[in-house]
Structure formats: C-alpha cells, structure tokens
Amino acid sequence: MDLQLDCLARSVASARTLEELTRPLLETLEAVSGLESTYLTTIDLEAGVQQILYARNTGLLQIPEGLSVPWNDTLCKRALEDGRFFTDDVGACWGDSAAARELGIHTYLSSPVRLDDGSLYGTLCAASTGSRVLPVDITHILLLFAGLIARQVEREKLIRQLCLANEALARYAATDPLTQLANRRALQQKLMQMLEDRNARDIPVLIAFVDLDGFKAINDRYGHDVGDQFLVELAARLRSILRSGGMAARIGGDEFVVVELCPDASEPDRLAAARQAFHERIFLATAGEYPLGDVRFDYTGASVGVLDVRPSTHDAAQALKQADALMYAVKKERRAAAARRSEASA
C-alpha cells in the first residue's frame, strides 16, 4: 500500500489533465475501499442528467464510461439530499432508484465534487454488488480525492479562460477596431507568409491597394459618424468578395489592402487577365449606392492599384510600396480624366 501511495503521489504531482489525475485516484480508491467499481461523474442540473466521465471496473459490476442516467433517479442525488456518504444496503436505503436496481448496486460510497463557487460539478463514487465493510478513514480519503479533482477542474477551467483571453487579445492586436478587418500588422504577417511559402513558389500573390477618393468630402458633408459607417460598410463589401485564403485589411484612415493567391497563372496572358479581373472585382465592390441610416449617396468607387508578385521575389514591405505606387498612378489618371470632363463641359 505504501508503494501504491507513493505512485499515487507522483501521478497527482505530474497530472496535466483531469483524466491523468482521476484514473490513478480511482485505482487507489478501489484498492482502499475494496469496492469493485469506482467512477467520477459530471452532473448537468439544468438538463437533469448525470454522466459517467471516468470509471474503473474490476468485478461483476460494470459501470461504463459515457453512461447517462436521469439525475432524479440516481443514488448520488439521494445521498446528497440525505447528507449520507455510505450505505452497505442500497435496497433498504434507496430502493426507489431504478438505475441502482438495474446495475445491481448493493454497497455505495460517494462524495460531491464542488467547485470554488459552491456549484456541483459531479460526484466521486465507489460501488459494489455485494456488502462491504469499509475502512474507518475512507470518508477522509474520499473527500481528499474529491477535493483534488475539484482543484484540477478549476485549474483546467482557468487555463481555458486564459487561452480564450489570449486568443481575444491576439485578435484585438490584429484587428482594426472600427471595421473589424485585419489591421496593418496582421496584413504584413499574412503577406509575409504568402510571399515566403515554398510550397506556392510558382503561384503569384495579387495585391490590391485601395484608396477611397472623396472620403474627406463625405466626412465634411455628412459628418464623421456617417464617414465611419461608410468605412464599415465598405469593409463588409470587401470581406464579402474574399476568396479562400485571401485577406482584406484596413491599414490607414481611408486605405485598404486586399490580397489573395492567383493559382491560374501558368501563362502571362492568364496572369494579366486574372489581375484585371481582380482589379474589377475590388473596384466594383467599392462603388455603388451606400444607404447609411438617414443618409444615402452614390459612390463612384475607389482608386485601386493591383500588383502581382511571385513568392521570394519581394518582401512584404516592398510589395505594399509598389502596390501603393500603382494605386497613386490610378488616382492621378482618374483626377486627370475628371479634369478633362470638367473642361469639356465648361
């Protein structure tokens, strides 16, 4: 027994999961109590169900893992209500439990597993088909084991919360708070991955640099609240046209970037056609009517510069700089065209 306790202490100390902790506890509980089945349950009070999470069976009594029974029919509920940890005559004590009759339980031992807030997680139990006389200190051992399980459940709960918080912080650090698109940092990381992907060495990356012409006029005419709504709506439109593996990002006040792979680029003509189609898809997504609450206006579309880059030929900063230059060339030409139309109509 001393050797078993030494092994148990090492198992408890090294346990990283609830299962790694519980299984040696069930084995030790079986050895100490002499009962043929030991098991840990979880209880869903809202659903009214008790389920066997982990079990150890060494005799005729077989309590399978995954077994679910109505909570109102369980011995555990009756033991909790009566404040009773042990009985060696289940039939005389709680003969109305159909589940106990079906399983043939005669001797029963259990303790609630309660979390720090007092909520009931489940029960730690031992049972047998025959009558057993238990050691005088078995209740102390049972409570100790139930406490260890509760601490592990709390620990895993805290770890999950920390992981979720870390994921949320990571998303926050990579997300533009207004539009919920990726921010500049996330875009640079994504673009760097795409340009350094050795498995996609022959697949060009398409980069569209988008600048919202006339955005200042929208703010001046309708106010910054409407301007923010415009940015949010435009971001949603860019998000809606993304293809698998692509990304849309807001990298400045009125500047956006969309990136995606161009797998069908085996020939120069195909690449040129894909680049043109990408440009049109982005431009058309930005243009059109914008109903923004009480305000509604037509937007003639953004200036969009599109660059295709093969992996390992540019780094992310270089590629964005070139796409930005192409966008400004488009913006310059659009301004010149507008000026020519104005002169022609004068």
Q: Residue 207: its pLDDT value, please?
A: 96
96-103 long-range contacts (CB < 8 A, ≥24 apart) are 97/73, 98/73, 99/69, 99/70, 99/73, 99/74, 99/75, 100/75, 103/61, 103/63, 103/127
How far apart, in whole angstroms, are the C-alpha atoms of residue 184 and residue 163? Answer: 24
- Kindly tell me if the per-residue pLDDT of 159 is higher than 70: yes
For the chain, give the mean pLDDT. Answer: 90
Closest CA to 279 of 326, 244, 332: 326
Q: Residue 3: its pLDDT value, please?
A: 47
**Distance of CA 288 to CAs 193, 295, 299, Å?**
33, 14, 5
Sheet with 247-250: strands ordered across: 247-250, 255-261, 205-211, 303-309
Residue-wise burial string across 282-304, b where 16 or more C-beta atoms lie within 10 A, e elsewhere: bbebbeeebebeeeeeebebbbb
Active-site residue, 96 included: no
Tens-digit pLDDT profile for residues 141-154: 999 999 999 999 99
Collapsed DSSP state (helix, strand, coil) of residue 150: helix
* 326-334 average pLDDT score: 93
Q: Residue 5: its pLDDT value, please?
A: 55
Beta strand pairing status for 288-292 and 247-250? Answer: unpaired
Active-site position among 176, 211, 254, 324: 254
Confidence of residue 262 (pLDDT cuts 50, 70, 90): confident
Confidence of residue 265 (pLDDT cuts 50, 70, 90): low
How far apart, in whole angstroms, are the C-alpha atoms of residue 36 and residue 237? Answer: 64
Return the residue matching tokens 């169900």: 49
Give one DSSP letter per residue of 281-316, joined into a string.
HHHHHH-EEEEETTEEEEE---EEEEEEE-TTS--H
Q: Residue 155: its pLDDT value, please?
A: 94
Confidence of residue 95 (pLDDT cuts 50, 70, 90): confident
Closest CA to 65 of 53, 74, 75: 53
**206 has which bridge partners?**
260, 308
Q: Residue 40: its pLDDT value, please?
A: 98
Per mean pLDDT, which range of 75-79, 100-104, 248-252, 280-284 is the poorest? Answer: 100-104
% of the chain at pLDDT higher than 70: 95
- Kindly tell me if the per-residue pLDDT of 267 is higher than 80: no
- Kindly tell me if the per-residue pLDDT of 110 is higher than 70: yes
Q: Residue 160: its pLDDT value, please?
A: 92
- Kindly tell me if the per-residue pLDDT of 44 is higher than 90: yes
How many Cβ atoms are within 10 Å of 129's Cβ, its own excluded?
A: 17
% of the chain at pLDDT higher than 90: 70
How far apart, in whole angstroms, are the C-alpha atoms of residue 285 and residue 121? Answer: 51
**146 has which bridge partners?**
none
Ranges of beta strands (E only) in 115-240 are 120-128, 205-211
How far apart, in whole angstroms, are the C-alpha atoms of residue 311 and residue 193? Answer: 9
More confident residue, 306 or 197: 306
28's tokens: 């030790």
- Kindly tell me if the per-residue pLDDT of 199 is higher than 70: no
* 54-71 average pLDDT score: 94
- Kindly tell me if the per-residue pLDDT of 101 is higher than 80: yes
List the domains of the chain with CATH numbers.
2-168 (3.30.450.40), 184-345 (3.30.70.270)
Return the residue matching tokens 């195909």: 270
How far apart, in whole angstroms, are the C-alpha atoms of residue 200 and residue 313? Answer: 13
Confidence of residue 344 (pLDDT cuts 50, 70, 90): confident
Q: Residue 197: its pLDDT value, please?
A: 74
At how many degrees (to 10) do helices 215-222 and 224-240 cross?
Answer: 140
Collapsed DSSP state (helix, strand, coil) of residue 89: coil
pTM of the model: 0.67
